[in-house]
Structure 1
């Protein structure tokens, strides 16, 4: 017997499989391409439908005209009051903030409402008709009266502003302070009109904001000035009241560079200064009088006494005359005695005058001493008064600083209030560069752009369609799926050819079908240690998966190698071998299983394709009962002694009990799977059923593979191989 155990055959198959290391996953891009090719018809239909819809939609669209105005927005620095420190530093971040604010203002609803008011759009039915909008939601059954309620007018106004905002666009020009304002409408003249009005109202709104800001600033400053004026008056009253209360009389003061008032002299300080100077003089006089009175410094009064000086002068004169007489005469001379008497009288007069002068010096000393004491007492009194004034001047200076501060604030605000009334109101930082002109051509719709968008949409839909279909289509699509998804080896694949084409191609060894089955025959040669299995069967999950055709083709390919091949039609429920060989199904396998041992009668010798064949024979009432006997096992064993390879075309697996019975009679099973046919779940269940019967599965053949789908297809390879050779012969 040629059967081997499943474990042994598994070891042989694994060791002998020449493609075991070649089973790998198809590259992801190739899988995507194959998926696209599998659904190419649907993809083409979806793309064509999207393009057609895009063209139709474009033709049905209302043409819109876009008119653009260009303005320049300059950066500006606004300062409301210097007093509150409102200052800004020009920087990149603030520039971005400023321009983003301007762009937002250009797109604001308030600006749209200004344009609606300026053009009176809410009252123009033609404006709404241009955009195909019914502002009053009226129909044929509604009374469209010309008289509109306040709510209707408000609704029309709001709708007009919404339309403007929907069709306006603001586009800053990169790297510049220029901004393009575009408006799109079905009428070219209306587009230019709205764009220009939009710019005009933006400039006007900017001026209004500046004026409003100036008015608000003036109002604010007026309030601040009133408060500061009251504070200044209160602080001045407090200062004056405090000075009166403390009897602080300021004679002179000066303003410092920072605006502070500094008191230079007060009445107390001036009095103290004068009395102190008088005291110094009195002290000097007292000291001089004291020295004179004591005689230490002589009688200075005598020197300055006129009478005394006259007496002394006369005495000197008489003394001189007396001296002359003494030269000539004796003291007793009468003239000399007269002169001596006069001199003696003058001496007495001089002594008396000197005495009187000394008495006056003492009086002057006492007078000087008294004056000194009085002045000293006054100075001491003023010193105490001045010390108290110095203590009071601390609070006085506090009141003075408050007055100075309030006066500075008041003067600063008053100056800003005068300036703000004339600064910046009439100027504007926005200028029109290019006004909007009515466009000559519509800007939309753009047929090429819409077609491109339709193609993109179509590609998106096709991608979604292919993805969904691939997820739904859980089938085998290529040979690599056998190893990855089913766990069986791939023996080869057969291109998608009609059954008749395959049978006709077997007569041409250059055909694609022949080359495909020849490749499978090569794989079979490495399945066991003795080459091509001595016996095997071909089955599938369901009918019409190319099982019978593959069995016949493999028999023909094996027979072409001068091997003796027997093909048995084991599908006694739905036989097909006799049809492919154009023979009668009168005797065959069913006869042998029923007890007929005449194999010569049951086997057709040397058929059209070079192999022997045993057809199914008459269809039995219950094929499973015939297969359950040992005669099938005996038949294969007996035929294996005569033939190199026995091939059985077995029935499908699902729903039938024939495969487990037939698989026990052969070395192994070759599973035939139609590409894109049975779901993976069904194939897995069928393979599991085959394995449950302890049958060995050599591998699988994928049939009806689209040549352009396979990553390793036949279409190009064989066309190149034989086509190029034929062209060279020509």
Structure 2
């Protein structure tokens, strides 16, 4: 990541600098804004007043739903309807200063009042900011404007209109309920009237006189007609008949008692006060008579007088006893007659009552219907009265904590904050720039880029030759280039499961990436190991190997492809032991056609029979078909990539063309790599750049 940043340091600096400069310019040109805020407390219950001394709290929302309730209230504050109320309250539609403070043009002439107010409400919602801290009921209503006094005025107007709209919503909600109850009350009243009229009409047509009790406890009696006049009369007569029967039985008992025993022995006579007085007087006269008889004879006047008095008393007792007996008999006869009359009337009323009960069945239905309608009407009327009594008397559950004050300083723009934001934005933009550039740039800058970008293993890293003279570097066995190619040779020895491939092709995406130098270095390295090596120059458009090894080019690969000559007769032995070179030969008019023939496959097979290793230096891949054709015939392909070469997608295109032939790709070789310019000490240490430099300078190794 640090290496990527160093490679794009200039672009990053330019982008960050431009963004910071733009931030400063925009900040200085921005009109100062002032933010005024008012704070209110929103409770989850409100007070309802029923009288001057009676007040009670009623919940606005359930306790578990308080957070959602407060969030809803903040949305209400930010609503379009509340903004429209504030615009109307402050007459902002006709205030050009308001539109100027909000950096907006006032409504054009001829704009309707409704549209102008809608424009003002839209600007209000743009400058409004409602803050609800977590775990708090304190809501801050802020408004931002270029005019500090106007900002405070609008913030306070928002608070006032919010409180009034909250109360208005409560009143409107009860108004809807009152209107609905009023309509239902009229319908219930009409039903009561209709049912009462139907009940009275039925009673009149059937001659029913039934008093209807107002209490619900007698509703059952009313429904079956038990309180009708006929029924009441029957009940009264039946009670009287029962009483008459009891009286008759009592009178009959007295009569039987007084008539079944001697007159003066009956209880009625004996208990009579008159009889008791006469008996007492008789006893006194008898006692006086006995006293006179003891002193005088029976014809003595005093004795005769006493006897006459005694007889008179006996006659009075007899008369009185008969009168008592006759009185008991008269009572019995009267009770018997009264009983018979009452029983007759009861029997008559029973028939009338039974007939009336048949008629009261429908009356009961109509009566119950009328009572039900009346109860519904009474309930609605009671609810309607209570709703009218309590409508609009709720206190607001919103209280003002702090009123908005005109701010003394602007809330925006803030230079330091904007610079910090600009710095962050600059780094983000620079990061995007670097990411896009690195994503679309397929150049290989460091060895670690090979595998992720090329999807092939890294075989070796070849440093750049001094003075840009690779032949001199290869001639020095202690040079960094030679040591790097020795390392590449070791990698090729174990590049496949069978070891070193027999026929190896060396190619690259574009010219001048070091493929010819790599081919020559690989061939020379294996020749030094004692292996017989054939180096074929298959680049028949721009041949160069014959010059690098100083051999003639009168005959070569093109000669073999156009004839049946033997490979060993054309191949040239070089000054390096075990190394033979097959130059390209005369440049043919169409190298691709020659390489497309079966002759090239025969030559490669023949070379594999006569030599331990065959190295094919093929042309670049892009723009030519030679390298892909050869890759399908060899045992392995070495792909040479020049470090830090800007290709803009050409490298990926070359690899796609190469893999279309399904070759065996051994890996990639990164050439001309400068570890000191990679921007990371890791590559310098890991790839031994310091060690190579030390060896090439001829210093003694400690």
TM-score, length-scaled by structure 1: 0.67
2:401 is the alignment partner of 1:433: yes
The aligned counterpart of 1:442 is 411
Distance in 2 separating the partners of 1:403 and 1:667: 106
Distance in 1 separating the partners of 2:145 and 2:624: 73
Which of these residues, 455, 470, 491, is aligned with residue 427 of structure 2? 455
1:413-562 matches, cutoff 5 A: 413=383, 415-417=385-387, 419-420=389-390, 423-424=393-394, 427-439=395-407, 440-444=409-413, 446-447=417-418, 448-460=420-432, 462-463=434-435, 466-467=438-439, 479-480=450-451, 484=455, 491-495=459-463, 500=468, 502-503=470-471, 505-506=473-474, 512-526=480-494, 538-540=506-508, 542-554=510-522
Q: Is the 8 A contact 2:44 2:60 kept in 1?
A: no
Distance 1:702 1:288, change over 3 A: same
SS at match of 1:209: helix
Which of these residues, 104, 112, 115, is aligned with residue 86 of structure 2? 115
Offset of 1:722 from its aligned partner?
Answer: 2.7
Distance in 2 separating the partners of 1:496 and 1:490: 17
Distance 1:213 1:324, change over 3 A: same
The aligned counterpart of 2:132 is 172
Q: Is the 8 A contact 2:494 2:500 kept in 1?
A: yes
Distance in 2 separating the partners of 1:360 and 1:530: 157
Which of these residues, 160, 166, 169, is aligned with residue 200 of structure 1? 160
The aligned counterpart of 1:103 is 74
Distance in 2 separating the partners of 1:637 and 1:315: 188
Distance in 2 separating the partners of 1:165 and 1:97: 22
Distance 1:42 1:497, change over 3 A: farther
Which of these residues, 375, 379, 382, is aligned with residue 405 of structure 1? 375
Distance in 2 separating the partners of 1:294 and 1:509: 174
Which of these residues, 258, 278, 285, is aligned with residue 292 of structure 1? 258
Distance in 1 separating the partners of 2:406 and 2:680: 59
SS at match of 1:179: strand
Offset of 1:56 from its aligned partner?
Answer: 5.3
Q: Is the 8 A contact 1:572 1:623 kept in 2?
A: no
Distance in 2 separating the partners of 1:256 and 1:626: 122
What per-residue deviation string (whole Å, max 9, x for no partner) do you get for residues 353-373 of structure 1? 655654454334323332343
2:209 is the alignment partner of 1:247: yes
Distance in 2 separating the partners of 1:688 and 1:418: 89
User: What is the aligned length?
Assistant: 657
Distance 1:181 1:354, change over 3 A: closer
Distance 1:497 1:135, change over 3 A: farther
Distance 1:388 1:638, change over 3 A: closer
The aligned counterpart of 2:337 is 370
Bigger drift between 714-723 and 171-180 goes to 714-723
The aligned counterpart of 1:3 is none
Distance 1:388 1:715, change over 3 A: farther
Q: Is the 8 A contact 2:38 2:403 kept in 1?
A: yes
* Structure 2 unpaired stretches of 5+: 51-57, 560-564
Distance in 2 separating the partners of 1:702 and 1:621: 31
Offset of 1:106 from its aligned partner?
Answer: 0.6
The aligned counterpart of 2:55 is none
Offset of 1:546 from its aligned partner?
Answer: 1.2
The aligned counterpart of 2:45 is 76
TM-score, length-scaled by structure 2: 0.70
Q: Is the 8 A contact 2:143 2:151 kept in 1?
A: yes
Distance in 2 separating the partners of 1:388 and 1:589: 146
1:267-282 matches, cutoff 5 A: 268=233, 273=239, 276-277=242-243, 280-282=246-248
SS at match of 1:169: strand
Q: Is the 8 A contact 2:16 2:423 kept in 1?
A: no
Distance in 2 separating the partners of 1:304 and 1:198: 105
SS at match of 1:69: strand
Distance 1:551 1:286, change over 3 A: same
Q: Is the 8 A contact 1:545 1:672 kept in 2?
A: yes
Offset of 1:111 from its aligned partner?
Answer: 1.0
Distance in 1 separating the partners of 2:452 and 2:70: 61
Q: State the structure with bigger RCO (CA 8 A, min sep 6), 1 or 2.
A: 1
SS at match of 1:175: coil
The aligned counterpart of 2:562 is none
Q: Is the 8 A contact 2:15 2:429 kept in 1?
A: no
Distance 1:504 1:231, change over 3 A: same
Q: Is the 8 A contact 2:36 2:142 kept in 1?
A: yes
Which of these residues, 124, 141, 160, is aligned with residue 181 of structure 1? 141
Distance in 1 separating the partners of 2:140 and 2:545: 81
Distance 1:436 1:405, change over 3 A: same
Bigger drift between 673-682 and 284-293 goes to 673-682
2:130 is the alignment partner of 1:130: no
Q: Is the 8 A contact 1:272 1:382 kept in 2?
A: no
Q: Is the 8 A contact 1:604 1:612 kept in 2?
A: yes
Distance 1:381 1:721, change over 3 A: farther
SS at match of 2:411: coil
Distance 1:519 1:114, change over 3 A: same
The aligned counterpart of 1:590 is 554
The aligned counterpart of 2:53 is none
The two structures, once aligned, show a CA RMSD in angstroms of 6.1
Q: Is the 8 A contact 1:58 1:450 kept in 2?
A: no
